[in-house]
Amino acid sequence: MSAPRFFCDAPLSPGARIALPEALAHHAIRVLRLRAGETLALFNGQGGEYPAVLEIEGKAGFAQLGAFDPREAELAGRITLVQGLPAGDKMDWVVEKAVELGAARVCPIAAQRSVLQLAGPRLEKRVAHWQRIAQSAAEQCGRNRLMAVDAPVTLADWLALPADGLRLLCHPDADADLAGRLGATPNLQSLTLLVGPEGGWSEKELAQAREAGVQAVRFGPRVLRTETAGLALISAAGALLGW
């Protein structure tokens, strides 16, 4: 059985003995009931990980770090999912699975047809919640880099940001399919996939995307739920690109 993995937001170096953050120590010692002398792995999101031995002093936890392990589990290219905010807690699922599938970033969009609307303290709490989900998913799936989760913005505000690589918007009436668009872009290193909320993108948002150079693609003969479409696109694109 592999050693439990923990994200540790602290400088790590071979041979160092570090005090574990209180929340991490509580989870390892009180929740997982790890004992002194057991092995674990720590990573700080900068790449690679460190095997470590757990030490316990009272309620405090410490880790004696071993040699740096440069192991990575990232895709060969960068995939960003631009997700129209879905209703309820569906975004939790999207964030967790996007991490597992290797996405580098998730950008929630407060779309015109999004049922979920967030602002103020509620917005800040929800974004922090998504970032914790991304951290836990990285610990579970073996990634040593954290997927970024942005605060929600409108599609117009997102489109105003500097463009990076190929940007594809999922639409059932698009002329081209995913494989065709990807095949027409050799040596691709960065891909952004746009998926609307339950009601889809509005006509205004579609026009804004076209004007910004975003290309529409269709994805199969079936209509997928918003929480399924982006994840399926990540999987298919990664396979088609050999990432």
Banded pLDDT at 68 (limits 50, 70, 90) = very high
Tell me what the mean pLDDT of segment 216-233 comes to.
94
Query: Residue 1 has what pLDDT?
Result: 60
Tell me which CATH code domain 5-65 carries: 2.40.240.20
Percent of the chain with pLDDT over 70: 100
- pLDDT tens, position by position, 127-168: 999 999 999 999 999 999 999 999 999 999 999 999 989 999
Q: Of 11-20, 97-106, 114-123, where does mean pLDDT reach its minimum?
A: 114-123
CATH of domain 78-241: 3.40.1280.10
Strands 190-195 and 215-217: unpaired
Sequence ranges of the domains in the chain: 5-65, 78-241
Q: Does residue 179 carry a pLDDT above 90?
A: yes
Cα–Cα distance between 177 and 158 in angstroms, integer? Answer: 24
pLDDT of 12? 96
Same fold, 5-65 and 78-241: no
5 — pLDDT class (breaks 50, 70, 90) = very high
Contact between 44 and 10 (Cβ < 8 Å): yes
The whole-number pLDDT of residue 175 equals: 92
Task: Assess contact for 238 and 79: CB atoms under 8 A.
Answer: yes
Query: Does 76 score more than 90 pLDDT?
Result: yes
C-alpha 155/C-alpha 100 separation (Å) is 25
pLDDT of residue 120 exceeding 90, the answer is no
Q: Which residues of 128-148 are buried (b: 16+ CB within 10 A; e: fewer)?
A: eebbebbbbbbbeeebbbbbe
Q: Which two tokens stand for residue 168?
A: 């594809």
Res. 2 pLDDT band, cuts 50 70 90: confident
Q: Region 228-237: what's the mean pLDDT? A: 97
36 confidence band (pLDDT: 50, 70, 90)? very high
